[in-house]
Chain A
């Protein structure tokens, strides 16, 4: 547990030190939201209807940028091999990285939500639930994202490989997160929210377990 705390602290510290980069990602995400709102036009009803989907799309695009940044420091310099020297299971280091990435993505989401509220009129009556949903969705993106950033770290064309690998895997997460967001924004007369959140949570659980196991295997290769 000590080891996990130390590793998480290191990840967060590194993120804090590279915050200028995160800022550019925020601008990127906000720009994506802006463009998509223009594509829909001034119809307030249509904007609200699509807000959930576009919010997650913007988050997904931004996530590929932040995840790569998080591994860049280590991979450019083959520090992954260094992990094997430590008397620490690599899996612990993976979870520290994934938790840090989750926090960063959730924070990004929390910044993008107000933007979406302004652009799409996407207020919700349950802001806390929306924040919980952001964390859950971020976790669903972060675990496979962290893993794939490691896998493709050595491939030359990692900029193109990462999204290629990440997108298909996170489709279920995105669908569930989008659905749940729409329900929070538009209202939930049929009480479907719980089902979608359960689905989302289930996928998160699966990804976090599988990715943790696979990270150990990849690093030892």
Chain B
């Protein structure tokens, strides 16, 4: 037996079916101690189902789960005391104040932060004496984050921690996660914001239809495209149009994808590809009706792997 548990979470061959829907379809994951691991995927990919199985809230139809070196068996109370969990949606009694709610949660854990500390972590000090009923959506989200952290957990599960937050609150939530990382805590979060995954996560698993379809650091995943930039353009109307072969032959173009009138080129060097592209179009007497260039993101990785975007998947 190894004395130190290197992996905070391991799961193998996880399967969960709801009637004819296979929500999780043979999913494998390994989250290392001290890292921030992200599950990125579109709506219905199976992120919540997976994370709930890992949290011991949901029993898988097949597969095994080991969390902090233990399996979910019996009442799991000892294991639960080491976890912090933020559900995608949690509700608290409306007629308790924020401070009372946190004090209640704190009393359930053997150790942890003081109520004041927990409030400070999520910057809710001003709302300490406000009733939960009167909180905005983003403030409730921060309260649930505080409740997840008040037991000073070794492993934190965050299911879409920033959905519904305004940009400023989102940045605060990111700071909280970064602070957790600094203090050596392990974080497993789900999101469908690729900027969030890219910024916070040491490693990301891209999940689609209940399976991990790509895994790596955000950098590795983007590098796997073989191109650092994406050129998107469209040509409207009729007349001669460039073919995929023509476009693929342009200098520094790595891949070509087409969706109706819109094209996506994965390119290595924008300054060489774009002039060549415009020249080809000009030869055919066309002009792009749209043209944009951005650095490749995790979104592009997802599109490349599935042919769909995260939003419309």
A residues at B contact (CB < 8 Å): 2-3, 5-7, 10, 13-14, 17-18, 73-74, 77-79, 81-82, 84-89
Contacts and interface: CB of A to CB of B under 8 A. Distances in A.
A3 B108 contact: yes
B79 to A, nearest CB: 8
A5 B94 CA distance: 20
Given A14-B96, A73-B94, A73-B95, A88 B77 contact: yes
A82 B100 contact: no
B100 A85 contact: no
A88 B80 CA distance: 8
Given A3-B107, A85-B80, A87-B108, A79 B92 contact: yes
Contact of A6 (B80, B90, B107, B110): B107
Contact of B91 (A2, A78, A84, A86): A78
Contact of A10 (B55, B81, B96): B96
Given A10-B100, A10-B104, A82-B87, A87 B93 contact: no
Contacts of A81: 57, 87
A184 to B, nearest CB: 37
Contacts of B100: 10, 13
A2 B107 contact: yes
Given A2-B107, A3-B108, A10-B104, A89 B93 contact: no
Contacts of A88: 77, 108
A77 to B, nearest CB: 3
A13 B96 contact: yes
B158 to A, nearest CB: 13
Given A3-B108, A85-B87, A10 B80 contact: no
A87 B95 contact: no
Interface of B: 55, 57, 75, 77-78, 80-81, 85, 87, 89-96, 100, 103-105, 107-110, 151
A17 B81 contact: no
30 contacts: A3-B108, A5-B107, A6-B103, A7-B104, A10-B93, A10-B96, A10-B100, A10-B104, A13-B100, A14-B93, A14-B95, A14-B96, A18-B95, A73-B94, A77-B91, A77-B94, A79-B93, A81-B57, A81-B87, A82-B87, A82-B91, A82-B92, A85-B55, A85-B57, A85-B85, A87-B80, A87-B108, A87-B110, A88-B77, A89-B75
Interface of A is mostly: helix
A6 B108 contact: yes
Contacts of A3: 107-108
Contacts of B105: 86
B111 to A, nearest CB: 11
A86 B80 contact: yes
Contact of B109 (A5, A10, A17, A87): A87
A3 B87 CA distance: 22
A137 B123 CA distance: 47
Contacts of B81: 87
Contacts of B93: 10, 14, 73-74, 79
Contacts of B78: 87
Nearest to B95: A17
B231 to A, nearest CB: 46
A5 B104 CA distance: 10
A7 B93 CA distance: 12
Contacts of A6: 103-104, 107-108
Nearest to B79: A87
A5 B92 CA distance: 19
Nearest to B77: A87
**Closest CB pairs A-B (n = 4):** A77-B91, A6-B107, A87-B81, A87-B80
